[in-house]
Amino acid sequence: MGFEKFLFYCFAAIALASAGMVISRRNPVHAVLWMVVTFVSGAALWILLEAEFLGIVLILVYVGAVMVLFLFVVMMLDVDIATLRACFIRYLPLGAAVALLMLGEIVWIVGPANFGLTHFPSPPAAGLDVNNTHDLGMSLYTTYVYPVELAAVLLLVAIVAAIRLTMRRRTDTKTIDPAVQSRVKKGPDRIRIVKMASVGPLETPETLAEAKDEPR
Protein backbone atom coordinates (compact mmCIF):
# COMPACT_ATOMS: atom_id res chain seq x y z
CA MET A 1 0.00 0.00 0.00
CA GLY A 2 1.54 3.26 -1.13
CA PHE A 3 1.45 6.44 0.83
CA GLU A 4 -1.12 7.92 -1.54
CA LYS A 5 -3.43 5.04 -0.97
CA PHE A 6 -3.01 5.42 2.76
CA LEU A 7 -3.87 9.10 2.49
CA PHE A 8 -6.88 8.29 0.35
CA TYR A 9 -8.32 5.93 2.89
CA CYS A 10 -7.64 8.39 5.67
CA PHE A 11 -9.47 11.24 3.99
CA ALA A 12 -12.21 9.02 2.71
CA ALA A 13 -12.84 7.75 6.23
CA ILE A 14 -12.82 11.28 7.60
CA ALA A 15 -15.23 12.42 4.90
CA LEU A 16 -17.67 9.60 5.65
CA ALA A 17 -17.47 9.97 9.38
CA SER A 18 -17.92 13.71 9.31
CA ALA A 19 -20.82 13.39 6.86
CA GLY A 20 -22.41 11.04 9.35
CA MET A 21 -21.87 13.61 12.05
CA VAL A 22 -23.50 16.33 9.92
CA ILE A 23 -26.80 14.53 9.85
CA SER A 24 -26.73 13.23 13.38
CA ARG A 25 -25.80 16.37 15.38
CA ARG A 26 -28.52 18.00 17.42
CA ASN A 27 -26.95 21.39 17.27
CA PRO A 28 -27.08 22.94 13.79
CA VAL A 29 -23.92 24.92 14.39
CA HIS A 30 -22.06 21.71 15.07
CA ALA A 31 -23.53 20.19 11.97
CA VAL A 32 -22.28 23.03 9.83
CA LEU A 33 -18.84 22.72 11.34
CA TRP A 34 -18.79 19.01 10.56
CA MET A 35 -19.76 19.88 7.03
CA VAL A 36 -16.67 22.04 6.80
CA VAL A 37 -14.63 19.01 7.76
CA THR A 38 -16.33 16.98 5.05
CA PHE A 39 -15.52 19.56 2.44
CA VAL A 40 -11.91 19.83 3.50
CA SER A 41 -11.40 16.10 3.27
CA GLY A 42 -13.18 16.11 -0.09
CA ALA A 43 -10.78 18.78 -1.26
CA ALA A 44 -7.90 16.64 -0.11
CA LEU A 45 -9.24 13.72 -2.12
CA TRP A 46 -9.38 15.87 -5.22
CA ILE A 47 -5.83 17.00 -4.75
CA LEU A 48 -4.84 13.36 -4.47
CA LEU A 49 -6.46 12.87 -7.87
CA GLU A 50 -4.25 15.65 -9.25
CA ALA A 51 -7.19 18.05 -9.53
CA GLU A 52 -5.40 20.70 -7.53
CA PHE A 53 -7.37 23.65 -8.80
CA LEU A 54 -10.68 22.10 -7.88
CA GLY A 55 -9.46 21.18 -4.45
CA ILE A 56 -8.29 24.67 -3.74
CA VAL A 57 -11.48 26.22 -5.11
CA LEU A 58 -13.53 23.94 -2.96
CA ILE A 59 -11.78 25.17 0.14
CA LEU A 60 -11.73 28.80 -0.88
CA VAL A 61 -15.28 29.08 -2.10
CA TYR A 62 -17.22 26.52 -0.13
CA VAL A 63 -15.36 26.52 3.14
CA GLY A 64 -14.26 30.12 3.02
CA ALA A 65 -17.42 31.76 1.82
CA VAL A 66 -20.45 29.53 1.64
CA MET A 67 -20.01 27.74 4.93
CA VAL A 68 -19.32 30.95 6.78
CA LEU A 69 -22.54 32.36 5.40
CA PHE A 70 -24.31 29.20 6.47
CA LEU A 71 -22.99 29.61 9.97
CA PHE A 72 -24.26 33.15 10.16
CA VAL A 73 -27.70 32.08 9.05
CA VAL A 74 -27.88 29.09 11.32
CA MET A 75 -26.78 31.10 14.29
CA MET A 76 -29.51 33.64 13.67
CA LEU A 77 -32.23 31.00 13.45
CA ASP A 78 -33.93 29.66 16.51
CA VAL A 79 -34.30 26.02 15.66
CA ASP A 80 -36.41 23.93 17.97
CA ILE A 81 -34.39 20.77 18.22
CA ALA A 82 -36.82 18.77 20.33
CA THR A 83 -39.63 18.63 17.75
CA LEU A 84 -37.22 17.66 15.04
CA ARG A 85 -36.17 14.63 17.07
CA ALA A 86 -39.71 13.53 17.84
CA CYS A 87 -40.35 11.77 14.57
CA PHE A 88 -36.89 10.41 14.23
CA ILE A 89 -37.44 7.28 16.28
CA ARG A 90 -40.86 6.65 14.81
CA TYR A 91 -39.58 6.44 11.27
CA LEU A 92 -36.25 4.87 12.13
CA PRO A 93 -37.22 1.25 11.30
CA LEU A 94 -38.56 2.09 7.87
CA GLY A 95 -35.79 4.55 7.18
CA ALA A 96 -33.15 2.11 8.29
CA ALA A 97 -34.56 -0.72 6.20
CA VAL A 98 -34.74 1.42 3.08
CA ALA A 99 -31.29 2.82 3.70
CA LEU A 100 -29.78 -0.61 4.19
CA LEU A 101 -31.40 -1.97 1.07
CA MET A 102 -30.16 0.94 -0.94
CA LEU A 103 -26.70 0.74 0.54
CA GLY A 104 -26.55 -2.92 -0.40
CA GLU A 105 -27.53 -2.21 -3.96
CA ILE A 106 -25.12 0.67 -4.34
CA VAL A 107 -22.26 -1.32 -2.94
CA TRP A 108 -23.12 -4.20 -5.20
CA ILE A 109 -23.20 -2.03 -8.32
CA VAL A 110 -20.55 0.54 -7.61
CA GLY A 111 -18.28 -1.97 -5.99
CA PRO A 112 -15.15 -3.46 -7.53
CA ALA A 113 -17.20 -5.80 -9.70
CA ASN A 114 -18.02 -2.94 -12.02
CA PHE A 115 -15.59 -0.20 -11.14
CA GLY A 116 -12.55 -2.21 -10.17
CA LEU A 117 -9.07 -1.56 -11.53
CA THR A 118 -9.63 -4.19 -14.17
CA HIS A 119 -12.34 -2.03 -15.67
CA PHE A 120 -10.72 1.30 -15.00
CA PRO A 121 -6.96 1.01 -14.80
CA SER A 122 -5.46 4.02 -13.05
CA PRO A 123 -4.21 6.55 -15.57
CA PRO A 124 -0.52 7.45 -15.68
CA ALA A 125 0.38 10.35 -13.42
CA ALA A 126 0.52 13.65 -15.19
CA GLY A 127 3.87 15.26 -15.71
CA LEU A 128 5.04 18.33 -13.89
CA ASP A 129 4.49 20.50 -16.96
CA VAL A 130 0.75 19.85 -16.97
CA ASN A 131 -1.05 22.92 -15.77
CA ASN A 132 -4.31 21.88 -14.22
CA THR A 133 -5.75 25.39 -14.06
CA HIS A 134 -4.80 26.14 -17.62
CA ASP A 135 -6.34 22.95 -18.97
CA LEU A 136 -9.49 23.55 -17.05
CA GLY A 137 -9.71 27.09 -18.33
CA MET A 138 -9.08 26.02 -21.88
CA SER A 139 -11.84 23.46 -21.96
CA LEU A 140 -14.25 25.67 -19.99
CA TYR A 141 -13.97 28.48 -22.47
CA THR A 142 -13.91 26.40 -25.65
CA THR A 143 -15.70 23.08 -25.49
CA TYR A 144 -17.89 23.94 -22.54
CA VAL A 145 -18.47 27.60 -23.14
CA TYR A 146 -22.20 27.07 -23.63
CA PRO A 147 -22.71 25.37 -20.26
CA VAL A 148 -20.56 28.02 -18.61
CA GLU A 149 -22.75 30.75 -19.98
CA LEU A 150 -25.79 28.87 -18.82
CA ALA A 151 -24.33 28.58 -15.37
CA ALA A 152 -23.91 32.34 -15.40
CA VAL A 153 -27.60 32.78 -16.20
CA LEU A 154 -28.40 30.33 -13.44
CA LEU A 155 -26.53 32.51 -10.96
CA LEU A 156 -28.31 35.58 -12.25
CA VAL A 157 -31.64 33.89 -11.65
CA ALA A 158 -30.52 32.94 -8.18
CA ILE A 159 -29.68 36.57 -7.42
CA VAL A 160 -32.95 37.87 -8.83
CA ALA A 161 -34.91 35.25 -6.94
CA ALA A 162 -33.12 35.92 -3.66
CA ILE A 163 -33.62 39.65 -3.93
CA ARG A 164 -37.23 39.32 -4.92
CA LEU A 165 -38.02 36.98 -2.08
CA THR A 166 -36.21 38.82 0.66
CA MET A 167 -35.87 42.51 -0.15
CA ARG A 168 -39.06 44.33 0.60
CA ARG A 169 -40.32 47.54 2.05
CA ARG A 170 -42.08 46.58 5.21
CA THR A 171 -44.90 48.84 6.12
CA ASP A 172 -44.95 48.01 9.77
CA THR A 173 -41.45 49.13 10.76
CA LYS A 174 -40.78 52.22 12.83
CA THR A 175 -37.44 53.06 11.31
CA ILE A 176 -36.82 56.66 10.47
CA ASP A 177 -35.40 57.89 7.24
CA PRO A 178 -33.08 60.84 8.02
CA ALA A 179 -33.38 62.18 4.51
CA VAL A 180 -37.10 62.54 4.89
CA GLN A 181 -36.69 63.80 8.43
CA SER A 182 -34.50 66.69 7.42
CA ARG A 183 -36.99 67.90 4.86
CA VAL A 184 -39.80 68.69 7.30
CA LYS A 185 -41.31 72.08 6.84
CA LYS A 186 -42.52 74.40 9.41
CA GLY A 187 -46.26 74.50 9.45
CA PRO A 188 -47.91 71.29 8.35
CA ASP A 189 -45.18 68.93 9.59
CA ARG A 190 -44.25 70.38 12.94
CA ILE A 191 -46.14 70.23 16.16
CA ARG A 192 -47.93 73.43 16.93
CA ILE A 193 -48.71 74.40 20.46
CA VAL A 194 -52.00 76.11 20.83
CA LYS A 195 -53.40 77.86 23.81
CA MET A 196 -56.88 76.90 24.87
CA ALA A 197 -59.26 78.29 27.39
CA SER A 198 -59.35 76.19 30.52
CA VAL A 199 -63.10 76.26 30.73
CA GLY A 200 -64.95 73.22 29.62
CA PRO A 201 -66.92 70.19 30.71
CA LEU A 202 -65.73 68.06 33.53
CA GLU A 203 -63.20 65.45 32.37
CA THR A 204 -64.83 62.02 32.28
CA PRO A 205 -63.16 58.80 31.12
CA GLU A 206 -65.05 59.03 27.78
CA THR A 207 -63.81 62.43 26.86
CA LEU A 208 -60.32 61.42 27.84
CA ALA A 209 -60.49 58.46 25.50
CA GLU A 210 -61.79 60.65 22.70
CA ALA A 211 -59.02 63.09 23.17
CA LYS A 212 -56.49 60.31 22.92
CA ASP A 213 -57.88 59.07 19.60
CA GLU A 214 -57.79 62.41 17.94
CA PRO A 215 -55.03 62.70 15.44
CA ARG A 216 -52.25 64.95 16.45
Given the rule CB under 8 A, which residues bind another protein? 87, 91, 94-95, 98, 101-102, 105, 108-110, 114-115, 142-147, 150-151, 153-154, 156-158, 160-161, 163-165, 168
Question: Residue 102 Cβ, how far from another protein at the closest point, in Å?
Answer: 5
Question: Residue 79 Cβ, how far from another protein at the closest point, in Å?
Answer: 15
| Distance from C-alpha of 42 to C-alpha of 38, rounded to nearest angstrom | 6
Question: Residue 161 Cβ, how far from another protein at the closest point, in Å?
Answer: 3
Question: Residue 111 Cβ, how far from another protein at the closest point, in Å?
Answer: 10
**Buried b vs exposed e over 7-41: b needs ≥16 C-beta within 10 Å?**
ebeebeebbeebbebbeebeebeebbbbbbbbbbb
Q: Apex CA 11: angle with CA 10 and CA 17, to 5°? A: 95
Residues 6+ apart with CB under 8 A from 70: 32, 35
In the bound state with another protein, the residue whose beta carbon lies nearer, of 10 and 97, is 97
In the bound state with another protein, the residue whose beta carbon lies nearer, of 10 and 163, is 163
Burial (CB count <10 Å: 0-12, 13-18, 19+), residue 195: exposed
Question: Residue 135 Cβ, how far from another protein at the closest point, in Å?
Answer: 16
In the bound state with another protein, the residue whose beta carbon lies nearer, of 29 and 101, is 101
In the bound state with another protein, the residue whose beta carbon lies nearer, of 128 and 153, is 153
Q: Residue 65 corresponds to which amino acid?
A: A
Terminal-residue alpha carbon distance, the chain: 85
In the bound state with another protein, the residue whose beta carbon lies nearer, of 4 and 105, is 105
